[in-house]
Structure 1
Amino acid sequence: MSPEEAPARRRGRPTGSRAGAPETREAILAAARSEFAARGYAKASIRGIARTAGVDPALVHHHFGTKEKLFGAALEFTFAPALVVPEILEGGPEGVGERLARRFLSTWEVPEVRERLIAVMRSALTEDAAAAMLREFVSRELLLRIAAQLDVPEPHLRAELAASHMVGMAVLRYVLQVEPLASADPEELVGLVAPALQRYLTER
């Protein structure tokens, strides 16, 4: 193989056992959260993420395509909506606001999960593109799916209202650490927030 051929081959589809390995994808996601948190969405790069993950940039493109899709994957990996939505809907409309508030806060209270979420939030606070993707993800993948199953008028608007309430609380409590919200007991917050979420998602 001539030197001229080598770069073209490196830009192609990665080969070998590591290319499709689950641990490679997880390493890239972990590196992406770290880079987005440290540099913000705009300044984070595929090359920098690959370097942090210890892989070739071609592997990042192979698994995720673009930086925007990688950011979306980091959100999905963190929030795991496929697991959360059925749990919140279980039991029907009655008590959905309380289940949503408790699940949301209990997720944030786990230290290693909170670290990932704060990384995402910091990117959203500093970059318009990241903020738009975060709002869209929380609304579309989590709350709109819940509102649609509850069969209420204007489910998209209701999902957006619930998302704004929850994301706003998370920013103030966990990222900016505004008191007394930052040190309030989670169960107290569930009791205060649940009625608003219930109204957004079920009231006709």
Structure 2
Amino acid sequence: MTAGRSGRRPGSSGARAAILEAAKKRFSEHGFDRTSIRAVAGDAGVDPALVHHYFGSKRQLFAAVVELPIDPEVVMEVFGAVPLDQLGATMVRILVTLWDSELGSAAVAVLRTLVAGTDPGLARSFFVEVALERVRSRIATASDDGSGRVALVASQMLGVLVARKVVELEPLASMPVEAVVAAVGPTVQRYLTGELG
């Protein structure tokens, strides 16, 4: 007797939805770091290879769960490559430019859902373990793991997002990107690498 293969489920159109549902539950309950592709696949009743087939990496799966309009890995690569003393300005420039782009309305809608949603675990996973983890690991030192610093960065950038795109508070709402970078970038840089008080 041969063992059955656990690959693609019959009626694979339902497999993608089952994977997304299982991933959403896992990410919400266990966070990004403690969720594995294998565990998501087990919950969805599919082979892990099928999860990779549909979604690629775990980070891309998370992006699909929260319906991000862009692959966060692209942004993370830039944050990982820029010189540390330019990271604050670069983060502000990239994020504000993204929010102002054609993808911006979808990105803003996702962030609104995450922040105002009924699932704080998913929002926390997104901000702490996905959006800012690479930045945190870059700025971590022996005496400061950087968690408090990236939380301050998140609060600053969420404030800019809400003021610029949700409340449309002038003059910030119509300020050119480089003016926002000049005003906010030094604060973000201080949160990342400067004295906090």
| TM-score, normalising length: structure 2 | 0.65
After superposition, what is the alpha-carbon deviation per residue over 1:4-24, rounded to whole angstroms, capped at 9, x for unaligned? xxxxxxxxx7425xx3xxxxx
Describe the shift of the 1:71–1:154 C-alpha distance in structure 2 as closer, same or farther (beyond 3 A): closer
CA shift, 1:144, in A, is: 3.0
Secondary structure of 1:15's partner? coil
Matches within 5 A, 1:1-204: 14-15=9-10, 19=12, 56=14, 59-65=16-22, 67-68=24-25, 69=27, 73-75=64-66, 77-78=68-69, 80-111=71-102, 113-129=103-119, 133-152=122-141, 153-204=144-195
Describe the shift of the 1:184–1:74 C-alpha distance in structure 2 as closer, same or farther (beyond 3 A): farther
Describe the shift of the 1:124–1:89 C-alpha distance in structure 2 as closer, same or farther (beyond 3 A): closer
CA shift, 1:190, in A, is: 0.7
CA distance in 2, matches of 1:101, 1:200: 13
Report which of the two has the higher share of helix.
Answer: 1
Describe the shift of the 1:64–1:128 C-alpha distance in structure 2 as closer, same or farther (beyond 3 A): closer
CA distance in 1, matches of 2:112, 2:93: 23
| Contact 2:108/2:165 (8 A) holds in 1 | yes
Moved over 4 A (4+): 66-72
State how many pairs are aligned: 152
Percent identity between matched residues is: 28
CA distance in 2, matches of 1:183, 1:198: 23
Describe the shift of the 1:126–1:163 C-alpha distance in structure 2 as closer, same or farther (beyond 3 A): closer
Q: Which runs of 5+ in 2 are unaligned?
A: 1-7, 28-60
| Contact 1:95/1:198 (8 A) holds in 2 | yes
Q: What is the RMSD of the two structures over their aligned residues, measured on CA atoms?
A: 2.7
